[in-house]
C-alpha cells in the first residue's frame, strides 16, 4: 500500500534526530540479564514482556549507539496496525473506503508521542495482535480460534491494551452464544488465566475506588480526543501542556456522534455484534485509565490517542457493513480524509521540534556523564531535584551513572562526541555545562594558601571569558577582605549563566579543582567579577 509506505517515510523523516530517553532508557539500562523477574516485573503497573524481549534482541544485534533500529521497528509495527485496520475495514466497506481509516492511523498527528517514541512499540504490538485476534474470530474454526487465543496472549504480553481486547472478545463470544453456544470462550479463558497468574505473582494495583467519579468525564474526553484526532482537529492550544491535545472540536463531535448513535438505536436499526465488542474494548480501556488516573494521565494526553482512534475506527466501519460508496460519497470521503491527513501531518510536524529538543537534552546530559567518567559518583543522576530545578525535566530519571556505564560497556555508549555537543542549541549546552559541573562536583572551597610555584595574575573588575582558559588541576583565588566576587564557568555554552558559584563576600583564599576528563579539547572557561583587584594562581595539582 503506497499510503502506508508514504506514512512510514514521513515518520522516518520526522524521527531522524531522535534518541533514547525516559522509558527507553529504563529498558536499556534497567532491565539487565534474563530472568522471570526481569521479564515479568511490571513497568509502572503494566506487563511489557514483548517490548523487553524486543529491546534485548535489538541491543544484542545493533547495540545502543543508534536509535534507528528501535524507532524503525516501532514505525513498522505502526504500519502493521494500519494494514490490519485496512483489512478489517475492507471486509465491511470495501477496499476504497477502507483506505481512509488506514491513512488516518498511519500518520495520526495528535498521537505524535506514540509515533515518535520507540518505547510505544508496546502499544502498536498490543493493538496489532488485538486486531489480528478479532479478524481470526471470523474464521469460526479451531485453527482460527487457536491463533486468536495465541494473539490475545501476545496482545497482553505487549501491554495492558490486551486486557481491553480480551474483554471485548469475551463480550462478542457471549453475544454469539445462540450460534456457537459458549464453547469458544476457552480462547479468552486461557489468556485470562495466564494474566491472572502473572498478576498474582508480580502485578501491582494502580486503580483507586476514589477515581470512580472520574469515569464518565474521562470516557467522554477519551471519545472526544479520538474523534478530534480522526478529523485532524486536535491541535494543542497555545500555552497548553505540549503533551496534551485540544478537545475543543472533539467534544461537540462526540456529542453529535452519541446523538446519532442513540437515534439509530431508537429507530431499531441493527448493530453488528462486532460493533458492540469493539465498543466494549475501547470503553473498558478508558474506564481502566480513569480508575488508574493520576496527574499526567489525562485522557487528552497525546500517548493515549492512538488507542482510542484505532478502536473507534474499527467500530465505525461496523456501522455500515456491506456498504459501498458511490462516486459522490467516494469523493467526499477522499477529500475529508486528505484534509484530516494534511492537518494531522501538520500537528505531527509541530511537535517534532519539541520532541527533537527533548532528545538533544537527553544526548547532552548522557554525554556529560560519559565525559565525567572516573570522577562522577556511581549514584549520580543528571536530573535530581536540584539540577532539574535549573535545567528543567527531560525525563532522564532512569539514568544513574553506575548502571549506565555498565550498560554502555556492554551495548555501546549513548553519548555523542564533545564536538557534536558543541553544535547543539545554546539552552541545551547551558544545561550540559550545569550537569557536568555537578557530575564533576565542581565548587569553590576555602584554601589555606596559594600553591608554591603557581602561575599568578591579577584579577581586575571583570575578566574576559575568552582570555581565561583553565586546565585540569587546582586554581586558587585570593581576594582582599571586604571584597565581593562572583566566579563562573562555561565549557560548551557561549554564556556564563548556569555554572555560577556563590558570591564571595569575606575575601580570603579559595580553590577550584578541575579533574582530567573525557573532553580534553574542550576546556573550561572562567569569568570572575570582583569589586576589588585580587589574584588568580593556576598550576596546582588536583
- pLDDT of amino acid 462: 53
Q: Is residue 425 part of a domain?
A: no
Which residues make Cβ contacts (< 8 Å) with residue 379, sequence separation at least 6?
A: 400, 401, 402
**Res. 466 pLDDT band, cuts 50 70 90:** very low
pLDDT tens digit string along 6-40? 999 999 999 999 999 889 999 999 898 899 999 99
Is 455 in the same domain as 332? no
Residue 301 backbone phi and psi in degrees, to 5: -60, 140
Is the pLDDT assigned to residue 542 strictly greater than 50?
A: no
Helices (H), 372-425: 385-391, 401-411, 418-421
Mean pLDDT value across residues 296-308: 94
**Which whole-number Å values give the CA distances from 202 to 40, 111, 156, 195, 374, in the listed order?**
7, 30, 14, 10, 37
**Res. 463 pLDDT band, cuts 50 70 90:** very low
pLDDT tens digit string along 46-83? 999 999 999 999 999 999 999 999 999 999 999 999 99
- Rounded CA Rg of the chain: 29
Is the pLDDT assigned to residue 541 strictly greater than 60?
A: no
**Res. 453 pLDDT band, cuts 50 70 90:** low
Q: Is residue 427 part of a domain?
A: no
Mean pLDDT value across residues 532-541: 76
> Cell numbers at residue 231, please?
478529523
Q: 524: domain range?
A: 445-540
Q: Is residue 373 part of a domain?
A: no
Query: Is residue 437 a contact partner of residue 506, using CB atoms and an 8 Å limit?
Result: no
**Which whole-number Å values give the CA distances from 323 to 32, 97, 265, 266, 317, in the listed order?**
52, 9, 19, 21, 9
Is the pLDDT assigned to residue 44 strictly greater than 80?
A: yes
Is the pLDDT assigned to residue 449 strictly greater than 80?
A: no
Is 206 in the same domain as 79? yes
Number of domains in the chain: 2
Query: Is residue 349 a contact partner of residue 14, using CB atoms and an 8 Å limit?
Result: yes
Is the pLDDT assigned to residue 407 strictly greater than 90?
A: yes
Is 449 in the same domain as 352? no
Mean pLDDT value across residues 160-187: 89
Is 464 in the same domain as 337? no
Is 325 in the same domain as 449? no
As beta bridge partners, residue 510 has 446, 477
pLDDT tens digit string along 473-514? 888 888 888 778 888 999 999 998 888 887 677 678 888 899
Mean pLDDT value across residues 135-142: 92
The rounded mean pLDDT for the chain is 91
Other residues' Cβ atoms within 10 Å of the Cβ of residue 87: 15
Q: Is residue 309 part of a domain?
A: yes
DSSP annotation of 212 reads: G
Mean pLDDT value across residues 347-366: 94
- pLDDT of amino acid 448: 77
Q: Is residue 86 part of a domain?
A: yes
Mean pLDDT value across residues 397-424: 93
- pLDDT of amino acid 180: 73
Is the pLDDT assigned to residue 105 strictly greater than 90?
A: yes
Percent of the chain that is helix, strand, coil (3-state, to 5): 60, 10, 30
The rounded distance, in Å, linking the Cα atoms of 14 and 356 is 9
Q: Is residue 389 part of a domain?
A: no
Is the pLDDT assigned to residue 375 strictly greater than 70?
A: yes
Q: Is residue 161 part of a domain?
A: yes
Other residues' Cβ atoms within 10 Å of the Cβ of residue 105: 29
- pLDDT of amino acid 465: 37
Final residue of a domain: which of 318, 333, 356? 356
Is 211 in the same domain as 107? yes
Mean pLDDT value across residues 166-175: 94
Is 467 in the same domain as 338? no
What's the farthest any 2 CA atoms get from each other in the chain?
98
CATH at residue 506: 2.60.120
Coil, strand or helix at 458: strand
Final residue of a domain: which of 338, 356, 374? 356
pLDDT tens digit string along 255-287? 999 999 999 999 988 889 999 999 999 999 999
- pLDDT of amino acid 487: 87
Final residue of a domain: which of 312, 340, 356? 356
Is 304 in the same domain as 451? no
Q: Is residue 53 part of a domain?
A: yes
pLDDT tens digit string along 118-129? 999 999 999 999
pLDDT tens digit string along 316-345? 999 988 888 888 888 999 999 999 999 999
pTM for the predicted model, two decimal places: 0.92
Amino acid at each position: 500500500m503506497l499510503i502506508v509506505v508514504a506514512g512510514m517515510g514521513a515518520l522516518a523523516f520526522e524521527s531522524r534526530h531522535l534518541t533514547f530517553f525516559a522509558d527507553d532508557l529504563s529498558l536499556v539500562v534497567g532491565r539487565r540479564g534474563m530472568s522471570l523477574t526481569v521479564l515479568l516485573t511490571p513497568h509502572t503497573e503494566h506487563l511489557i514482556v514483548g517490548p523487553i524481549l524486543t529491546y534485548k534482541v535489538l541491543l544484542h544485534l545493533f547495540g545502543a549507539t543508534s536509535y534507528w533500529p528501535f524507532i524503525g521497528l516501532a514505525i513498522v509495527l505502526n504500519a502493521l496496525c494500519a494494514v490490519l485496520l485496512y483489512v478489517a475495514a475492507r471486509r465491511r466497506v470495501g477496499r476504497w473506503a477502507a483506505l481512509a481509516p488506514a491513512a488516518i492511523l498511519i500518520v495520526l498527528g495528535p498521537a505524535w508521542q506514540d509515533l515518535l517514541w520507540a518505547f510505544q512499540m508496546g502499544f502498536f504490538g498490543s493493538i496489532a495482535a488485538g486486531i489480528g485476534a478479532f479478524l481470526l474470530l471470523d474464521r469460526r474454526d479451531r485453527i482460527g480460534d487457536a491463533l486468536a487465543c495465541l494473539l490475545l496472549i501476545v496482545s497482553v504480553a505487549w501491554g495492558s491494551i490486551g486486557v481491553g481486547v480480551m474483554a471485548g472478545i469475551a463480550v462478542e463470544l457471549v453475544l454469539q452464544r445462540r450460534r456457537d453456544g459458549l464453547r469458544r470462550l476457552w480462547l479468552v479463558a486461557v489468556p485470562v488465566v495466564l494474566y491472572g497468574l502473572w498478576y498474582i505473582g508480580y502485578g501491582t494495583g494502580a486503580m483507586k475506588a476514589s477515581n470512580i467519579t472520574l469515569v464518565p468525564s474521562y470516557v467522554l474526553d477519551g471519545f472526544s480526543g479520538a474523534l478530534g484526532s480522526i478529523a485532524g482537529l486536535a491541535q494543542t492550544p497555545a500555552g497548553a501542556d505540549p503533551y496534551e491535545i485540544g478537545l475543543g472540536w472533539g467534544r461537540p463531535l462526540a456529542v453529535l456522534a452519541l446523538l446519532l448513535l442513540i437515534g439509530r438505536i431508537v429507530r431499531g436499526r441493527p448493530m453488528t455484534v462486532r460493533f458492540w465488542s469493539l465498543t466494549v474494548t475501547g470503553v473498558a480501556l478508558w474506564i481502566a485509565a480513569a480508575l488508574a488516573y493520576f496527574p499526567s494521565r489525562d485522557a487528552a494526553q497525546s500517548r493515549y490517542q492512538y488507542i482510542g482512534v484505532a478502536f473507534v475506527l474499527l467500530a465505525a466501519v461496523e456501522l455500515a457493513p456491506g456498504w459501498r460508496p458511490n462516486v459522490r460519497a467516494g469523493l467526499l470521503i477522499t477529500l475529508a480524509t486528505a484534509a484530516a491527513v494534511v492537518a494531522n501531518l501538520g500537528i505531527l510536524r509541530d511537535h517534532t521540534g519539541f520532541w527533537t529538543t527533548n532528545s538533544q537534552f537527553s544526548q547532552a546530559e548522557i554525554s556529560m556523564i560519559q565525559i565525567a567518567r572516573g570522577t562522577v559518583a556511581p549514584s549520580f543522576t543528571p536530573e535530581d531535584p536540584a539540577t532539574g530545578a535549573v535545567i528543567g525535566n527531560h525525563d532522564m530519571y532512569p539514568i544513574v551513572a553506575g548502571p549506565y556505564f555498565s550498560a554502555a560497556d556492554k551495548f555501546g555508549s549513548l553519548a555523542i562526541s564533545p564536538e557534536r555537543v558543541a553544535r547543539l542549541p545554546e539552552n541545551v549546552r547551558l544545561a550540559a555545562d550545569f550537569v557536568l559541573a555537578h557530575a564533576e562536583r565542581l565548587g569553590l572551597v576555602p584554601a589555606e594558601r596559594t600553591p608554591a610555584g603557581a602561575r599568578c595574575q591579577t584579577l581586575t573588575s571583570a575578566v574576559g571569558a575568552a582570555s581565561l582558559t583553565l586546565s585540569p588541576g587546582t586554581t586558587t583565588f585570593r581576594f582582599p577582605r571586604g571584597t565581593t566576587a562572583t566566579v563562573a564557568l562555561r565549557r560548551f555554552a557561549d554564556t556564563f549563566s548556569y555554572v555560577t558559584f556563590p558570591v564571595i563576600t569575606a575575601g580570603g583564599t579559595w580553590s577550584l579543582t578541575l579533574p582530567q576528563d573525557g573532553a580534553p579539547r574542550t576546556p573550561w572557561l572562567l569569568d570572575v567579577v570582583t569589586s576589588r583587584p585580587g589574584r588568580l594562581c593556576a598550576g596546582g595539582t588536583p
